[in-house]
Each structure stands twice: as structure tokens, then as C-alpha cells.
Amino acid sequence: MGLPLVYVGLRAWQAGPAGIAAELLRERTLMLLANTVTLAVGVTAGACVIGVAVAWCVERSDLPGRRWWRIAASLPLAMPAFVASYAWSSVDVALQSLGGAIFVLTIVVYPLVYLPVGAALRGIDPAFEDVARSLGKGPWRTFFTVVLPQAWPALGAGALLVLTHMMAEFGALSLLRVQTFTTAIFQSYELQFDSASAALQSAVLMALCLPPAWGEMRLRRRLHVARAGRGSARRPAPAALGRLVAPAVAGFGLLLALSLGVPFAMLAYWLAVGTSAGSDLGELVPSIAGSLGLALPGAAIVVALALPLVFASVRHPGPLSRLADRLPYVVHGLPGIVVALALVFLSIRYARPLYQTALLLFLAYAMLFLPIAQSALRASIELVPPKLEELARGLGRKPFAAFTAVTLPNILPGVGAALALMVLEVMRELTATLMLVPTGVTTLATEVWSHSNDGEFAAAAPFAVLLVLVSALPVYVFTRRSTEVYDLQ
């Protein structure tokens, strides 16, 4: 996990102390810093507001058709940011700006906040709210002083994920003509050979990820969500929306139209007008096979690696397990190309037979996506009482046997959710895949990239549509599983 950090350090050091100072003090670095921070904070704030509002509506209000909305509101997660950005960038030039990027990215990433917060709201015992209301607090004050604090860990984890996601985002920003550290890193690799400035920019990017990762950890430590003996909480009565029903339903409709409708309409338009449409349909089957062949085992491996990390940090909190738990979040802010080049550098020198095998690519996926698996697993692991394992140990099971016999079956919904989310992330990953995939293997994402790169938008469209459709399945599974985590209790 620390390997990309070492690589970035080594490469950056090539510039020498004077070179490092000169690079960091350039006017351009300041511009990149301002853009990166504005974008990350803007999208995170937007995603939190939309995510919490959506979660509350589907979990705690009498919104008509909320069972249906609960799934539908998670579907924008299936829309890769670069597809949405591509569509939106051709709707209006004004969207090709920092403000436009914040808008487009917010409406596609908010499910990363909505899903954990929604799951948390489901699990909250309404007794606390009853107490607050009986003490004379209004519904809004109750929400902000009683309900929201209980959802803090979920909100914090979701927000951190969005924040680090934005630091590493490339494709969407490039289409929307916004320059951040990540786009600058890609630019460096386009213009320069064995570049120290790209490494320096990566180092700054990682440094930017430190404060939020640390802050989220603090937030988590001050809160204790587990309760000794949950009792049996009753299902909360849904809050009546009253006159707000119509605006709420309209809002949901608008949200889906913006995040899914517009991109799909754009893809359909390209399919209709372009002549390169269908020129390459024979490639569809191998690239679906390539996508699934990498995504399924890749997801399984990442989740298998994430399990012990989360388990250790929940069961045996200490400086070491905390570091192991946090380090992936810092690396998560690194763009795929940096992680991929680090793995090229290291495997060529120390593990040559692994180079350009699927195994090395899985390692790259682990480095890129571990935190996402970690946050998906955490909720379900935190809810398993340690007493269950102690009981199994008391009955003579070895630690590992106790884990597989007692803990694992109990956290399966969480594992299912993490797997689904991983499949989703791996399927749309592009840069590390291009660099590390076994030669000749294509995926839906690499086909979308190479066709749209060559200007064959119509030829790219079926791959993009398939990518979205295939992604919808893991999103559905993820949504079902993450609600199940709490239903089981």
C-alpha cells in the first residue's frame, strides 16, 4: 500500500531540493491548488446536501413510492462521471467551467453519501427523537441535534470518499476543461518523459488528502455508535411531507433527469446521427468479457484485502491498525496513472513475471479502491457484537475458524455491498487498466476511451450504454445489500 508513496517520493526527489522549491512555488501550482480545493470542497458539500436530503426523504418521510425511489436514487452511481460530463459539456459551453464541473460531478456522485446515510437513518432508534420532541424541540431542531449526529459516521465516511474521489478525478474534468492537480499530472505525462514535476504534483495531491483522512478518523473516534443491547427498536413512523409532497417528487424526478436522462439522451443522439455506429459491434462481446473477467475477481480480491483491515481497526484499535486503516484513503487520492507507473517501476525491477498479468492489475485496483470497500464493510462489521466471536472461541474454535463460522456469515450483506461497489469501480477504471492490462484484453471502458478519442462518437456510444447498463446491476445489488445490513439486526 505504501509502495506508490515510495515511488512518488523517489521520483520527486530527482528534481533536487532547489527544483522542488521552484516547482512548488510556481504561480501555476497555486492555481491548481485553488481549483482542486474548490472543486473537491464544492462537490463534497453539494453531495452531502443532496445525499442527506434524498436519504431522509426515502427513509423517514411519507414520500409516495419511496421503495422505488430508494433504488432509483442510487442509480446515478452507475453513470460514469466521464460519460455524464461528455454529455453535459455539449449541452452548454458555460458548463465547461469550475462551476459546471461542480454541478455535473455533484449529481453523479451524491449516491456515495446518500447510500451510507440512508442505511444509517434506517438503523436509528426513533426513541431518541421521541425524547427530543417531548422536550419541546421542533422537527428541524430534532433533525439537526438528534438525528443527524447519529448519522455523522456514515456522512463523514461518504464525504471523505467523495472528497478523495474528486482529487483523483481526471476524465470528467478534462472534458469540462477544468485544471486540477490530477489533470496537470496527466498533462505532465503527455508532455514530458520521466518527469519529476508529475511526481511532485502527486506528492502535493497526497498531502491534500491527509487532513480530510485524519479529520474523518477524529470524527469517528469521538463517537460511539454501538449500543449495549439494542433492544428492539420500533420502526419509526414516517414524517408527513404535507404540502411538500409535490415539490419533493418533482425534485426527485429532476435529479434523475439531470443525472441519468441527459447523458442517455446524448448517447442516443450520437447513435442516431453518427456513421461509425455499429462499425465495431464484434468488439462488444470480448470487451464485456474483458470487463467482467477483470471486475469480478478484482472485486473479490480487493474486498478480501479490505476485510482484515477493517476488522483489525474495529476489533483491535491501536496506532498500527489505525494507520493501516487510513493509509489507503491517502493513496486513494492518487490518479490511476501514478499508481500504475509505480507498479510498472516496481514489478519490472522486483517481480518481473507478474508484469502485465491480471494479478498486478488487481493489485493496482486494490491500491486505488480499498477505501471504498473499507467504508462499505465498516458498518456491517461494527454491528457484529464481539461476544459472538468470543463464544465461538470459548467453544474451542481457532480464531480463523471462529471468523469464518460466526463473523463472516453475519457480515455477508456488507460483503455483498462491498463486492458490488468494487465491481462498479473496477469496470469503469481506465488509466491503470490501459497501462497494466494483459496485452490485447479490452474492456468496455477502454473501448469507450479509444473510440471517443478517435472522434468516433457513435461507435463509442454502444460501449458507453453497455457500461452504464452493466453497472446498474451492481448498483442495485449494493443498494439492496446495504439496506439489509440494518434490516438484519
Partner 1 sequence: MPHMDRRSLLKAGSCMTAAAILRHGGSHAQAATPTLTLYNGQHEKTTAALADAFTGATGIQIAIRKGSSSQLANQIIEEGDASPADVFYSEETPPLAALAKRALLSRLDKETLGQVPAAYAAGDGTWVCASLRSRVVAYNKAMVEEATLPESVLGFADPAWHDRVAYVPTSGAFLQQVVAIELMKGRDAALAWLRGLKAHGRLYPTNGAAMKAVEAGEIATALINNYYWFSIAQEVGEDNMASALFYYRNRDPGGLVTATAAGVLKSSRNQDAAQKFVAFMVSAGGQQAIVDSNAEYPVRPGIESFFPLEPFEDLNPPPVGPSDIGDAAGALTLVREAGLA
What are the residues binding partner 1 (CB under 8 A)? 26-28, 90, 93, 174-175, 177, 179, 183-184, 186-195, 273-276, 293, 296-297, 300-301, 337, 341, 344-345, 348, 352, 355-359, 404-405, 408-409, 412, 434-435, 438-441, 446, 450-458
Least separation, in Å, of the C-beta of 421 and partner 1? 16
Distance of CA 227 to the CA centre of its chain: 28
Q: Which is nearer to partner 1, 224 or 349 (CB)?
A: 349
Write out the three cell numbers for 263: 447523458
Q: How far is the CB of 441 from partner 1 (least distance, A)?
A: 8
With respect to partner 1, which residue has the nearer C-beta, 191 or 210?
191
Give whichever of 150 and 182 is closer to partner 1, judged by the CB atom.
Answer: 182
In Å, what is the CA distance from 306 to each residue of 234, 287, 483, 484, 485? 33, 28, 20, 20, 17
Q: Which is nearer to partner 1, 128 or 269 (CB)?
A: 269
CB-CB contact of 81 with 172 (8 Å): yes
Closest residue by Cα to residue 416 from 466, 475, 329, 363: 475
Least separation in angstroms between CB 107 and partner 1: 21
CB of 340 to partner 1, least distance (A): 8
Q: Which of 440, 436, 437, 447 lies closest to 470, judged by CA?
A: 447
Min dist. Cβ of residue 280 to partner 1 (A): 9
Q: Which three cell numbers stand for residue 192?
A: 514530458
Instruction: Provide, rounded to whole angstroms, the least separation between the CB of residue 376 and partner 1.
Output: 16
* Separation between Cα atoms, residue 51 and residue 147, nearest integer Å: 15
Q: How far is the CB of 301 from partner 1 (least distance, A)?
A: 7
Q: Based on CB atoms, which residue is closest to partner 1, 242 or 282?
A: 282
The distance of closest approach from Cβ of residue 290 to partner 1 in the complex, given in angstroms and rounded to an integer, is: 11
The residue with cell 446498474 is 472
82 closest CA partner among 5, 14, 182, 202: 182
Q: How far is the CB of 260 from partner 1 (least distance, A)?
A: 23
What does the CA dihedral 173, 7, 432, 31 come to, rounded to 10 degrees?
0
3-state class of 240 per DSSP?
A: coil
DSSP assigned state of 425: H
β-bridge partners, 61: 239
Q: Which is nearer to partner 1, 75 or 424 (CB)?
A: 424
HEC string of 170-198 equals CHHHHHCCCCCHHHHHHHHHHHCCCCHHH
| Closer to partner 1 by Cβ: residue 256 or 405 | 405
Cβ-Cβ contacts under 8 Å for 251 (sequence gap 6 or more): none
Task: Specify the residue, 341 or 376, whose C-beta has the smaller distance to partner 1.
Answer: 341
Q: Which residue has the cell 469540462?
A: 176
Q: How far is CA 138 from CA 120, 130, 247, 296, in A?
A: 22, 11, 22, 48
Residue 178 in grid coordinates: 477544468
Q: How many helical (H) and strand (E) elements, i.e. helices and strands, does the chain have?
A: 25, 0
Q: What separation, in Å, do the N-terminal and C-terminal C-alpha atoms of the chain show? A: 34
Position 48, amino acid: C
Cα separation, 358 vs 364, whole angstroms: 10
Residue 351's CB is within 10 A of a number of other CB atoms, namely 14
Tally the C-alpha atoms within 13 A of residue 178's C-alpha that lie toward its C-beta: 33
Asked if residues 300 and 487 have their Cβ atoms less than 8 Å apart, the reply is no
Rounded least distance, CB 311 to partner 1, Å? 15
* Smallest separation, CB 10 to partner 1 (Å): 12
CB of 275 to partner 1, least distance (A): 6
Say if CB 377 and CB 419 are below 8 A apart.
no
- Beta carbon nearer to partner 1, 352 or 387: 352
- Residue 64 CB, nearest distance to partner 1 (Å)? 33
